[in-house]
Structure 1
């Protein structure tokens, strides 16, 4: 595999470049419905200076019954333009839980053709632990910037493609949910969903690629080890999935970091697949 440009920046790097004219910081904090927390309110209580708030649930296809599905290129361009995120911007994404939702926004920008985007390693907790400042209050007016959206459809998979792959096996499927949710032994955080996993898929909880002590992404040699231990053949295509398409992007980021380029994400993920009305094949044994 050829070398790729890292999509991770350290808190020290961001602190040094925070005032650079081309750097834009994005708070991508997202909470699950059962967590009872409001991401925008918490952003206004505390965020990295100058950061804008990216609402995963609103910068999305809000006509879909599924949560935070990718929006149209037109909607994405319109929304991020108003956030001051445009062509020529070096976009740095973080979230207040460390590295849970920020990789989803990193992946979304890449889907829409913006490659100059990176994730803050360890997120807001690492930033604060390293002694860097935060600010409070509503979002400042960032001023509009033109954004050219060009959608890369190869980076996204839908239900029909996932269903067809069960028979054809053209790509490996890697599920980022916990082992208990993957096996169907733990309940899903979204009520009413079936338990289990897509037949033939492999499991690597997204937390297993993050250092539990520091909250940063594991070094590349350990990422490679964890992926291979999960059963992934790094010479073949991989599609990541999770509960609703958010933490699947953590695994996509890990694969990117070790230079694996043939990676896509199943946007509907288990919220679509585990719907009792969908009547899709499910495995529960591991």
Structure 2
């Protein structure tokens, strides 16, 4: 693989390819938008043929943590209902600066589907390219069988992150804004302290996004990731969504070995036995 991204111009030229599937993953955090704001955005207007992937629905039912990765059975069943299966090329986009399209890209990779990319710049780039929108969902015929081949190394548990933190065995990159990471600003989720996992490094996901909504250029990405451009790392954030933007940025630099701590800060800070560091640096 050379890049995890495709341009709006490429998508416009290839949108009619019979093996192509387009997924709208628009999602907005509950503290900045009302419930179902992502679906509402999809229904107002989406790329022709796009189906809607709801990360709050295609998630682990048994967990009280938000949008945790579902098991392979549920994932396979749900994406088949979206008309996605083996042999499909998948393009994921959203209307909020990679915040959930990167997450869905990562989810497909965890399930072993490698032919998945993210639309650089999302819906904004599509419209800037003169792409049409539609406001009706496509007619989805029976999808091909989706065969999961779980890539366990791309997802990390609390125990694995605890070990990485205490033994400094794996770099931990935190995608939250600096104030929350440093402990100088409150967490948006009630009852959670701010701060960070000991030994983790702050790389706010917003710094990976250029003003036009596209991924930052290679110079900026190299500056941000510095020593993390090769080898395994684990990305974390508030609840495992914006962390995937870091994984996407690293893949753009050629490092496809970034895993996600799925429970992220919501899980870590909810357990009073886990150490929390703060910093004004």
TM-score (ref. length: structure 2): 0.95
Which residue number corresponds to residue 251 of structure 1? 246
Q: Please list the CA deviations of residues 234-277 of structure 1 after superposition, one character each: whole Å capped at 9, or x if unmatched.
A: 344211101110010000011111111332110000111121x4
CA RMSD of aligned residues (A): 1.3
Which residue in the other structure is 1:50 paired with?
49
Cα drift, residue 165 of structure 1: 1.3
Deviations 1:198-236 (A, max 9, x none): 001001111111112x111122232112211xxx34344
Q: Following the alignment from structure 1 to structure 2, what is the Cα–Cα distance between the partners of residues 194 and 100?
A: 23
Q: Match for 1:267 among 262, 273, 277?
A: 262
Consecutive unaligned residues in structure 1, runs of 5 or more: none
1:131 pairs with 2:125: no
Across the two proteins, how many residue pairs are aligned to each other?
278
Task: Answer yes or no: is the 8 Å Cα contact 1:44–1:139 preserved in 2.
Answer: no
Q: Aligned to 1:270, what secondary structure does the other structure show?
A: helix
User: For 1:54-133, what aligned pairs fall within 5 Å after superposition?
Assistant: 54-133=53-132
Give the alignment partner of residue 216 of structure 1, picking from 189, 214, 217. Answer: 214
Q: What residue in structure 1 maps to residue 276 of structure 2? A: 282
User: Who is 1:149 aligned against?
Assistant: 148
Q: Answer whether contact 2:210 2:216 (CA < 8 A) is retained.
A: yes
**2:20 corresponding residue in structure 1:** 23
Post-superposition offset of 1:43: 1.0
Q: Say whether the 8 Å CA contact 1:84–1:142 is kept in structure 2.
A: yes
Q: Which residue of 2 aligns with 1:227?
A: 225
1:170 aligns with 2:169: yes
With over 3 angstroms needed to count, the CA separation of the structure-2 counterparts of 1:6 and 1:158, relative to structure 1, is same
Output the CA distance in 1 between the equivalents of 2:33 and 2:118. 25
Where 1:265 maps in the other structure, the secondary structure is strand
Q: Which runs of 5+ in 2 are unaligned?
A: none
Q: Deviations over 1:51-75 (max 9, x none)?
A: 0000101111021010011000011
What is the aligned partner in structure 1 of residue 139 from structure 2?
A: 140
CA distance in 1, matches of 2:234, 2:41: 32
Normalised by the length of structure 1, the TM-score is: 0.94
